[in-house]
Amino acid sequence: MAKIAVTPTIVLAEFIIFRKTISFKKVLALAVVSVGVAVATVTDLEFNLSGALIAIIWIIPSAVNKILWSNLQQQANWTALALMWKTTPITIFFLLALMPWLDPPGVLSFKWDLNNTSAILISAALGFFLQWSGALALGATSATSHVVLGQFKTCVILLGGYLIFGSDPGFVSICGAFMALCGMSVYASSSNLKESRESLSKQLPKQNLPSPRPKTNTEESPELDTKDATNVV
């Protein structure tokens, strides 16, 4: 549920920070996507106060982080790797500081053999490429589109498991996934239509006006005849 709440939080944060608004059609599409993903993924609700507080605290920083990553790449011309170079050392520092508290067995008690070490290194490399691809997506689209893309991945995994591997998520979950995909299609079409209009409006002022047609001999001949007549007189 916390991941679903990120979408309206991003829309609200972009309006507060940058005064950015979206069309009513997109609002309806995002509402359909959120409801569909909730129906498809939320199968068992159990309220926990500490978990709810952590989720609420996580929502706002996650939304602001996506907005800033997208804005810095599109407006300030930062690259994805440059942003990762600035933020990754800080992330590693906090991860190392919190690791003894989040991982009770500890690093020293872990069995560091060849297989486990190789698995950790491969997982770290894949995590780096995942972070890089997410940063590239934020720079190419927007924070809202990045969240919708992640929800699309969730629906594809759910439906792919049902169609390919024969898993049974339930009729309600399948209907929710299809509902979310319909909302994503409407959102994507609206975004593409807006981008095409913006690109067209940018190209129109660059078009040169037609150059004036040069005068032909036939058009200049009356003036010449008038000058000749004046000279004769």
Cα–Cα distance, 76 to 138 (Å, whole number): 13
Which long-range contacts (C-beta less than 8 Å, at least 24 apart) are formed by 15-22? 17/67, 18/67, 18/71, 22/144
State the pLDDT at residue 231: 46
Backbone φ, ψ for residue 103 (5° rounding): -120, 85
State the pLDDT at residue 208: 47
Q: What is the mean pLDDT of residues 28-51?
A: 82
Cα–Cα distance, 82 to 65 (Å, whole number): 15
Task: Identify which has the larger pLDDT, 200 or 152.
Answer: 152
pLDDT > 50? residue 196: yes
pLDDT > 90? residue 182: yes
In terms of residues, how long is the chain? 233
pTM, 2 dp: 0.70
What SS3 class is residue 201? helix
Going through 66-120 in order, the beta strands assigned E by DSSP cover none
State the pLDDT at residue 52: 78
pLDDT digits (tens, 9 = 90+) for 101-114: 777 666 667 788 88
pLDDT digits (tens, 9 = 90+) for 112-164: 888 988 998 999 899 899 889 988 988 888 888 889 988 998 899 989 998 89
State the pLDDT at residue 107: 65
Cα–Cα distance, 100 to 138 (Å, whole number): 32
Q: The tokens of 136 are what?
A: 């590239």
pLDDT > 80? residue 204: no
State the pLDDT at residue 101: 76
pLDDT digits (tens, 9 = 90+) for 61-96: 888 888 888 888 888 888 888 888 888 888 888 888
Least confident residue range of 10-14, 151-155, 208-212: 208-212
